Amino acid sequence: MARIAIDAMGGDYAPKTIVEGALWAAQEYGVGLELVGREKDINEELERIRNTGYILSDCGTKGHKRRIRIDLDKIDYTITHCSEVIGMGEAVGQSIRRKKDSSIVCAVQAVADGRCEAVVSAGSTGAAMAASLFGLGRIHGITRPAIAVTLPTMKKPVVLIDGGANSDCTPQMLSQFAEMGVEYAKLSLGIENPKLGILSIGEEEGKGNELVKDTYPLLKEKHENGRFNFVGNVEGKEVFINKADVIVADGFAGNIVLKVTEGTASMLLKMIGSEFKSDFIGCIIGLLAKPFLRRILKRINWEVFGGMLLLGVNGISVIAHGRSSSYAMKNAVGAAVKVLNKDINSKIAEHINN
């Protein structure tokens, strides 16, 4: 049975939603857990769940919560105690070096030591990245690991890489991100020959900033060699219309895509709420419309995808949203399970070094 190391102390609602979501995932996907963090805190959560026999979750609808039965006796989990926690605001490099007994460092170590197949953390993204990079090392040939994010769109999901690991990139780095993103999309989305695009402004070749213009010929060459199915530039508004299955970007631009998408969706849904509340009839129609709007919320909810994969490290490392609910955490573990036993890293290594 595969085993996942969980940074039980990382996340805005840790350890509660983290432990809940991990147990839920263990039960749903049939994996074992190594819960890493303050033993006392973790045991309190376990005790609570053992007593009630369930956890509560809205399952990504932001609405009515329902009970998810958790049978602790059927779940294979261990607890690894560690005393420290790295907070959201801490300087990454320093804290990783100093806090050797922090939950994220120890959780990564469980993978490095071979006790677990993957690590999942909803703590500081920077700390999770750094801990994974130092603890697991890079895949041979990879210059910089990058974050792969799965985004919902109208039809099928899209993989965006880099979601924010590298703010400043070279064309060679982007070309490697593309290799990793394509391999990931093959495995996680099940697409045989994913369409690869590069995030840019303007559709035609030659449009974009220097980085894009210098990366374009590298991707085009690999396309001509049959390595990529390169479809060229993808504009911001084309991200959601499945022009490409994999979109490569530097971590600055990629993170802006993620955050602007989140911000726009959140603004729109608030506006819809406020418009319906503007008069009495609106309130009634709003109530009637609620189930339909809730379904949309579920379709676009980041919680459904749960976690971003840090690609390029020697191991599987999933970074979950800081605000992860138990549902988001369950799905973040699911994102790790999806690539388990699929040898993604040896496939990446093979592509990079050939």
Give the footprint of a copy of itself on residues 183-212 (CB under 8 A): 199, 201, 204, 208-210, 212
Nearest residue to 152 (alpha-carbon basis) of 260, 241, 57:
241
Q: Which is nearer to a copy of itself, 56 or 284 (CB)?
A: 284
Helix (H, G, I), strand (E, B) or coil at 309: strand
Cis peptide before 101 (omega within 30 of 0): no
> How does strand 118-121 pair with strand 146-151?
unpaired
Which residue lies nearer to a copy of itself by CB, 255 or 314?
255
Map the footprint of a copy of itself across residues 267-326, applying CB under 8 A.
267-272, 275-276, 278, 282, 285-286, 288-289, 292-293, 295-296, 299-300
Specify the pairing of strand 307-311 against strand 146-151.
Answer: antiparallel
CA distance 217 to 232: 10
Using rule CB under 8 A, residue 52 touches a copy of itself: no
Q: Which is nearer to a copy of itself, 20 or 250 (CB)?
A: 250
Q: CB of residue 77 vs a copy of itself: minimum separation in angstroms?
A: 34
Q: Which of 263, 323, 346, 353 binds a copy of itself (CB under 8 A)?
A: 263
Half-sphere exposure of 58 (CA within 13 A, CB side): 13
**What does each C-alpha distance from 178 to 75, 210, 244 come to in angstroms?**
38, 17, 12
- Give the residue, chosen from 156, 259, 343, 353, that forms a contact with a copy of itself under the rule CB under 8 A: 259
Q: Which is nearer to a copy of itself, 189 or 300 (CB)?
A: 300
Up-side HSE of residue 303: CA atoms within 13 Å toward CB?
A: 20
Segment contacting a copy of itself by CB under 8 A, of 139-147, 185-193, 235-243, 316-324: 235-243
Distance CA 216, CA 146 (A): 19
Nearer to a copy of itself, 173 or 333 (CB): 173
191, 266, 286, 339 from 35: Cα distances, Å: 33, 33, 42, 20
Could you say which residues in the range 147-186 bind a copy of itself, by CB under 8 A? Answer: 153-154, 164, 167-168
- Which positions touch a copy of itself (CB under 8 A)? 89, 153-154, 164, 167-168, 199, 201, 204, 208-210, 212, 235-241, 250-253, 255-272, 275-276, 278, 282, 285-286, 288-289, 292-293, 295-296, 299-300
